[in-house]
Amino acid sequence: MSQNGKLKSIELLRKCLNSTLLGKEDVVELVIACLLSKGHLLFDDLPGLGKTTLAKALATTVGGRFSRVQCTPDLLPSDITGFNILNQKTREFEFRPGPVFGDVLLADEINRATPRTQSALFEAMAERQVTIDGIAHPLSSTFMVIATQNPVESHGAYPLPEAQLDRFAMKLQIGYPNRGSELEMLQKNIGTGSQGYQAVERVFESGELEKLQEDVASVAVELPVREYLVDLARATREHRSVTLGLSPRGLITWQRVAQAWAFIDQRDYVIPDDVQAVAKPVLEVRFGGSVDNVEKVVHEIIESVAVPTGR
């Protein structure tokens, strides 16, 4: 795919997502960055703001298999990963793949699943494979988990363990749309019948996304910027309000998302602006629930580290 073609497909993706989620261009931009950086996404917001809509739209545009799990306390790990079943005909065990074997997995209200089920996602998210009865089954190379959670109804919910939070690339809030967007949304909704949301078209042909993700991975991050990243990571560990600072895995994720951000901005090198732009969603998911005012803390951390300007 030519450089032009890549830009075109990204632009198309942006357009599709924006038409699905009105007035949330900044969120869409981060979602694209997350997709390009091969990260998993966690939406943390109130019900009805379009989390699921966006996830579905994303799955459609990416063009892969979309699977969805509605998490409830009685959901079992095998409901996600799949299981071996005895074929009565052949008298052999046969593997029935679960929803994780899709390209995009939407885990709705993930905090309603039991920890046991949640942890079943661990391996899938980190290593892109699941092991059942000692046999490792590789997942799709563009496998992406989009999880949503509802912060309000905490009754009967199991907060995600910190170890699992670290496997997400970022956490996003969508927030209420503005007045104009809501008006437009209502107008669009008239006459759509039972479908409820606007259909989007597929953007990527097979293998295209993979190629793009490889390109993102090769965006240059020069030493001053790498040092800046490391300094920021250390600053998160030294900040008084943060119990658990950024892990090395988190740092790698941060760099990857910054690369994606630079790629979206049509650059083949990362600048400190990219690092700062993605700092909040990347750090928020890792600080977990222990930090009250994430925005303020992230701001303080960024303020405490000098941007490298060469001299």
**Smallest separation (angstroms) from other proteins to the CB of 243:** 7
- Answer for which of 271, 278, 285, 291 binds other proteins (CB under 8 A) is 271
**Smallest separation (angstroms) from other proteins to the CB of 311:** 5
d(CA 287, CA 250): 11
If phi > 0 it is left, if psi is from -120 to 50 it is alpha, else beta; for residue 134 that is left
- Asked if 12 is part of the footprint of other proteins (rule: CB under 8 A), the reply reads no
The sign of the torsion formed by the CA atoms of 258, 259, 261, 266 equals positive
- Asked if 306 is part of the footprint of other proteins (rule: CB under 8 A), the reply reads yes
d(CA 214, CA 208): 10
**Residues of this chain, 210-229, that bind other proteins according to CB under 8 A:** 220, 222, 224-225
**Smallest separation (angstroms) from other proteins to the CB of 42:** 22
Residue in 285, 286, 279 with CA at minimum distance from that of residue 302? 279
d(CA 254, CA 39): 10
d(CA 107, CA 246): 25
**Pattern 238-267, binding to other proteins, x per CB under 8 A?**
x----xxx--x------------------x
Q: Residue 159, SS3?
A: coil
Residue 196, classified by CB atoms within 10 Å of its CB into exposed (0-12), middle (13-18) or buried (19+), is: exposed
d(CA 113, CA 306): 42
Closer to other proteins by CB, 16 or 294: give it.
Answer: 294
- Asked if 305 is part of the footprint of other proteins (rule: CB under 8 A), the reply reads yes
Closer to other proteins by CB, 210 or 273: give it.
Answer: 273
Q: Cα 39 to chain center, whole Å?
A: 5
Q: Residue 199, SS3?
A: coil
- Choices 44-52, 183-191, 204-212, 298-306; region in contact with other proteins by CB under 8 A: 298-306
Closer to other proteins by CB, 159 or 177: give it.
Answer: 159
**Smallest separation (angstroms) from other proteins to the CB of 182:** 31
- Asked if 133 is part of the footprint of other proteins (rule: CB under 8 A), the reply reads no
- Answer for which of 116, 237, 249, 296 binds other proteins (CB under 8 A) is 237
Residue ranges in contact with other proteins by CB under 8 A? 220, 222, 224-225, 237-238, 243-245, 248, 267-273, 276, 302-307, 309-311
